[in-house]
Structure 1
Amino acid sequence: MLKVEVFTSPGCSKCAHARKVLKALVEKLGGERIHWREVNILEELDYAVELGVLAAPAIAIDGDLVFTGMPRPAKLREYLLERLGEDSA
């Protein structure tokens, strides 16, 4: 199971969009294979810094910072499928 974290901050419109896109992708790809959570960088600042998050939104997968900023939904989908061991075609 993949562990996906989306780092957000309160009042960030790009963060709200990132959360919405990620939630939809997880539902489409099968929520039983991907566990995701939203991480408020103000509440978990030490953890965010430990991973190298400098700004929100950012996405970490299995404890590794993968995207700084929100990638295109197709790119995020492709990356998630790759990590799940599936062909993105």
Structure 2
Amino acid sequence: MTIKVEVFTVPGCPNCAKPQSKLREVVADFGPDKVHWREVDLLEEMDYAIDLGVMGASALAIDGKLIFASLPKPKALRQELLKRLEGQPASAPTH
């Protein structure tokens, strides 16, 4: 089973790059066979974002559900992914 992590961004966001790179590193630590990273351009996929309840840039969804309404700290993402990989109940969305 591969977990799908999607981060919702707006091109050129000056506050997004650094936090996203740290989160991307967390995902990379698990390996592509366990966790897949995808950046979603809000301008191109607005309908999809709205369907998930995304209200702004820098939200993060896991397996098609909005889990973090803003970018989490790397530790929080790592804990959430570990729970899912270990088969524990997932956290409730934080909107």
Q: Same fold (TM over 0.5)?
A: yes
**TM (normalized to structure 1)?**
0.88
Unaligned stretches of 5+ residues in structure 2: 89-95
Judge conservation of contact 1:19–1:38 (CA < 8 Å) in 2. no
2:12 is equivalent to residue 6 of structure 1: no
Letter in 1 for 2:9: T
2:67 is equivalent to residue 66 of structure 1: yes
Q: Map residues 1-89 of structure 1 onto 2, 5 A cutoff.
A: 1-85=2-86
Higher helix share: 1
Letter in 2 for 1:2: I
Letter in 2 for 1:45: M
Shift of 1:17: 2.5
Letter in 2 for 1:80: L
Unaligned stretches of 5+ residues in structure 1: none
Structure 1 residues 8-17 or 57-66, which shifts more?
8-17
Shift of 1:10: 1.3
Judge conservation of contact 1:59–1:65 (CA < 8 Å) in 2. yes
Shift of 1:29: 1.8
**TM (normalized to structure 2)?**
0.83
Where has structure 1 moved over 4 Å in runs of 4 or more?
A: none
Measure the CA separation in 2 of the matches of 1:68 and 1:12: 16
Identity %: 51
Measure the CA separation in 2 of the matches of 1:52 and 1:27: 26
Measure the CA separation in 2 of the matches of 1:86 and 1:26: 17
Aligned residue-pair number: 87
Letter in 2 for 1:3: K
